[in-house]
Chain A
Amino acid sequence: DTEVTQTPKHLVMGMTNKKSLKCEQHMGHRAMYWYKQKAKKPPELMFVYSYEKLSINESVPSRFSPECPNSSLLNLHLHALQPEDSALYLCASSLWTSGNTGELFFGEGSRLTVL
């Protein structure tokens, strides 16, 4: 079983809705990531938090707003999304220490459909 837990597993929302995706890990990892994955495509990096601070934002539109309340939790707030934002949103965590290979531990993802 994965040690990164994502909720909800499925989410359907309209373009005017506000919703949030949640991610939790209890492995003591200090880096957490959001990836977006479209069907039959590789995961694309959106955001990275290290030590609860946003360290990488891959030019993601502001309708996606990440939040890291503490080292175990990561949220992705969604507002005014477009149908093309429909995708699998993957959360991952890693150790983030010097010498670490960067192995990511992924959750099972939240399948988002925007109507």
Chain B
Amino acid sequence: GESVGLHLPTLSVQEGDNSIINCAYSNSASDYFIWYKQESGKGPQFIIDIRSNMDKRQGQRVTVLLNKTVKHLSLQIAATQPGDSAVYFCAENHHASGGSYIPTFGRGTSLIVHP
């Protein structure tokens, strides 16, 4: 997996701007990717997922792009709001026995939205 840095990458944006958060993954065999949002003092929350046979998936105000050639994932947030301020983790899902998946988390990006 990704090496974990000594500090958290930070993205600062103005309210109303679009945000793009990037993630590199390591396992080309991963077949599901999930973005989680973790607000201060809370556990991570699911935002959106994408299967490896797709290159784009859209949700409400969020879009995930997958580039398998360079093993890169991005999360785009449209019209960023102060409530979007949080740490965002990408997770690559490894297939486990019994049919389900075990997510391994990337190092995370702290998004700060200025009003």
| A-to-B contact residues, CB < 8 Å | 2, 4, 31, 40-45, 48, 50-51, 55-56, 90, 92, 94-109
Contacts and interface: CB of A to CB of B under 8 A. Distances in A.
Contacts of A106: 43-45
B8 interface: yes
Contact of B105 (A42, A100, A107, A109): A42
Contacts of A95: 100
With a 10 A CB-CB cut-off, give which of B49, B51, B102, B105 has the most chain A CB atoms.
B102
Interface of B: 4, 7-8, 32, 34, 36, 41-46, 49, 51, 89, 93, 96-108
Given A43-B105, A101-B93, A2 B99 contact: no
Given A40-B8, A42-B108, A100 B100 contact: yes
A28 B24 CA distance: 33
Contacts of A51: 98
Contacts of B97: 55
Nearest to B31: A101
Contact of B46 (A44, A50, A90, A103): A103
A56 B34 contact: no
A102 B93 CA distance: 7
A97 B99 contact: yes
Contacts of A92: 43
Given A2-B43, A50-B100, A104-B36, 11 more contacts: A4-B43, A43-B44, A44-B105, A51-B98, A94-B100, A100-B100, A101-B32, A101-B51, A106-B45, A107-B43, A108-B42
Task: List 5 tightest A-B contacts by C-beta distance, closest first.
Answer: A102-B101, A106-B43, A98-B99, A42-B105, A96-B100
Contacts of A101: 32, 34, 49, 51, 93, 101
Nearest to A42: B105
Given A42-B4, A42-B105, A45-B104, A99 B99 contact: yes
B39 to A, nearest CB: 10
With a 10 A CB-CB cut-off, give which of A95, A96, A101, A106 has the most chain B CB atoms.
A101
